[in-house]
Amino acid sequence: MREFPFELKLCTHLEATTERIIARQIGAGVHAPSNRVIDVLCVEPGPEFAARTELTSERIPAAAIESDVGVGEACYWRDAFDTSPEYAREVVDRAVEIGFFERDRRGGREYVRQVARYPDWFGRLIGIENKPDLAAPGDLETQLRKDVSLGLVDEVILATESYVTGAHLNRIPEAVGVWRFDAETARVEVIREPTPLDSEGAGTELIDTHVGRTDVRVASAAAKEKRRKRMAERAYGKGWRSYDLPGCAAVEPRSGGVPYCGWKDRVVDPTNCGPECPGHDPADPPTIDWEAERDGRTPWVAEPTGRTRRQSGLDRFG
């Protein structure tokens, strides 16, 4: 099976069998976040998860969370950020728009405060690397070693559809768990349990490799903690349905929004759909309420009581 349909079916399975927040394609580096992207990130609810669902359905900008804006006395918006006025302005506007900040004017100046304290809402982070066909592993070993040495997530799992041999297990770090996932029957066979990583301590991040040299940087415990919060927030706001359905009559959403093509008789990657496909039948894209699908199947809440409904996100707020 191709990796994209495999990934969507795994997300569907995890969403149906766990109470975790499931998201796809989340940056998992500290010094170089885009240097490592986790296929699937599972976020386990923490002690104050309910408080997070009441705040907003959208991802809260990291700069807003990390600013000096609190829930007590309102502060002058510019003094609360250690960044450019232009970026601070955009962050404040976005935080107000999604209902995390509220603002007031005094003597011609704008003051802001949090509507509620940012909660301790998430627990463990579990990273899943998808490789349906182990006969074409690509950079699998390097990717998994990055995850283990950095320890940004609490557990790392390799999900595959292939038969797993001892030779396969010997080529990946011992701490990595291995699942054999049958995408057609949604059955998971645990080949090896993952070993918990030291997510609370410092880690070593692989930055780049050259002939005869590997560039690494140490990531402090504090830097990892900040990055973990950003990853969890992005997962909360993004979810896994981060794709558009194609304008083709042969494609219909199934299993909560998975794009199924009747002509090919399988789940497809919408980015590969178009006039070049022999089965393409031009039509308006299927209408589906993504928020309603996610709300009805997960602990995520689309419309928190008294808060702002989810709106279009601005991905620049990392």
pLDDT in tens, 74-128: 999 999 999 999 999 999 999 999 999 999 999 889 999 999 999 999 999 999 9
Question: Given a cut of 70, is residue 57 above it in pLDDT?
Answer: yes
For the chain, the structural domain boundaries read 3-49+120-238, 61-114, 251-294
Pairwise CA distance, residues 99 & 305, whole Å: 11
Question: Given a cut of 90, is residue 212 above it in pLDDT?
Answer: no
Residues in Cβ contact with 110 at an 8 Å cutoff, skipping those fewer than 6 apart: 76, 77, 92, 103, 104
Pairwise CA distance, residues 78 & 67, whole Å: 10
Structural tokens at position 247: 């304008």
Question: Given a cut of 80, is residue 307 above it in pLDDT?
Answer: no
Pairwise CA distance, residues 57 & 195, whole Å: 32
Under 8 Å between Cβ of 137 and 53: no
Q: Which amino acid is located at 68 in the chain?
A: D
Instruction: Band the pLDDT of 306: cuts 50, 70, 90.
Output: low
Fold of 61-114: Arc Repressor Mutant, subunit A (1.10.10)
The pLDDT value recorded for residue 1 is 62
In whole angstroms, how far apart are CA 33 and each of 7, 42, 63, 173, 286? Answer: 21, 17, 16, 21, 34
Question: Given a cut of 50, is residue 315 above it in pLDDT?
Answer: no
The pLDDT value recorded for residue 309 is 42
The pLDDT value recorded for residue 100 is 95
% the chain with pLDDT above 70: 96
- pLDDT per position as a tens digit, 19-32: 999 999 999 999 98
Q: Mean of the per-residue pLDDT values for the chain?
A: 92
